[in-house]
Amino acid sequence: MKITLAIDSFKGSLTSAEAEQAAKEAILAHNKDCQIDCIPIADGGEGTLAVLMEHLRGSTHIVHAHNPCMDIIPATYGISGDGHTAFIEMASISGLPLLTETQRNPMYTTTYGTGELIRDALDKGCRQFIIGIGGSATNDAGTGMLQALGYRFLDTQRDELKQGGKILKDIAYIDESQKDKRLKNAHFIVICDVENPFYGPNGAAYIYARQKGATEQMIKELDEGMQRFAKVVETSTGKDISALPGSGAAGGLGGSLHAFLHAELKPGAEILLELSQFHQRITDTDLIITGEGKIDRQSLMGKITGKILQAGQARGIPVVAIAGCVEDKSQLLKAGFKGVYTTKPAGMPLEKAMQREIAIQCIKETVLQVLNTGYTDNLI
């Protein structure tokens, strides 16, 4: 019999691979003859780089680039084993956790470093890019990234503007004469798990800028700047990104990646399942065990555990979920999970349950509980 393990990371505790290894050991202790297929997964957030590098047989590269405040720091990105594809987590160089509370100000923070990582990957021969754009500290509509790639943003007097969200309201012209020529042959896929438009009540500034340090007045100015910039973008590229789902992600970075670099915006779960050949690998499996640190009804709304459930249902394969924390269990069972199990023992403090060795043991015990449940009797 065959069991497929597709367990996301238990954030702050175990990586996807570590969680699956614990589950695998429990299964083999129960039945040493069981065939087990471990498929490390992620949804575009923490741990995605490591998972992608495993699927792409890649390596990591360190480059010194500019953080959101234009200070030079080391950042890591990945390149696939064949040298063709780069994976960049923009948060590694343009992310909010890189800044102190007092440094957070989206009027000035920039995505310039993200562009530098793209440029470095171009130097190394990459022409395929997968870019995760969660966790940004910016609301510059990707202008910083484009500046690092040779684009120039000019005001009405055709003077060149600097960096940050504050320049958006002043952009009148976009000069592409010095842009990196290698971009013409590059293809970009963007991991984008939000559907916010470029501007407006549900846009980049009003929904996300506050957590990046913006005051109410800044938010108003940033949104007005996004509106102005969207019109200039349409004039320059012919693309209307104002209402494009995901164009407001990462302070508008999603919109500029689409407009200028012709990027496809895709959900992280979709990309990871595609790269891992998940759908092909489960055709002969008898049971799928998935999970993550916390599972609730939001897991059914485009997140990777929900996508795994759908894939199993489409093939009549039972899917069981394990998680450190379980909420909305009745809704999860109603959605089609054959079982939903919490790995944290009742009464155990969360801090203790998150300790690596304890988390491993808890997963093993939970998987044994799964295997001893009636509906798996015909599998083991």
Residue 13 belongs to domain with CATH number: 3.40.50.10350
Domain for residue 273, yes or no? no
Q: How many domains does the chain have?
A: 2
Domain for residue 52, yes or no? yes
* Structural domain ending residue among the three candidates 268, 295, 315: 268
pTM: 0.83
Q: What's the mean pLDDT in 332-351?
A: 95
Asked whether the predicted pLDDT for residue 194 surpasses 80, the reply is yes
**Position 52 confidence tier, pLDDT thresholds 50, 70, 90:** confident
Q: What is the chain's mean pLDDT, rounded?
A: 94
Residue 304 belongs to domain spanning: 2-41+278-376
Asked whether the predicted pLDDT for residue 262 surpasses 60, the reply is yes
Instruction: Report the C-alpha gap between 23 and 343 in whole angstroms.
Output: 11
* Structural domain ending residue among the three candidates 268, 302, 323: 268
Q: What's the mean pLDDT in 354-379?
A: 85
Instruction: Report the C-alpha gap between 95 and 110 in whole angstroms.
Output: 10
Asked whether the predicted pLDDT for residue 232 surpasses 80, the reply is yes
Taking only the tens place, the pLDDT of each residue in 275-322 is: 899 999 999 999 999 999 999 998 898 789 999 999 999 999 999 999
**Residue 224 CA, distance from chain mean position:** 28
Q: Look at residue 45 in the predicted model and tell me its pLDDT.
A: 66
H-helix segments, 59-181: 91-94, 112-123, 143-148
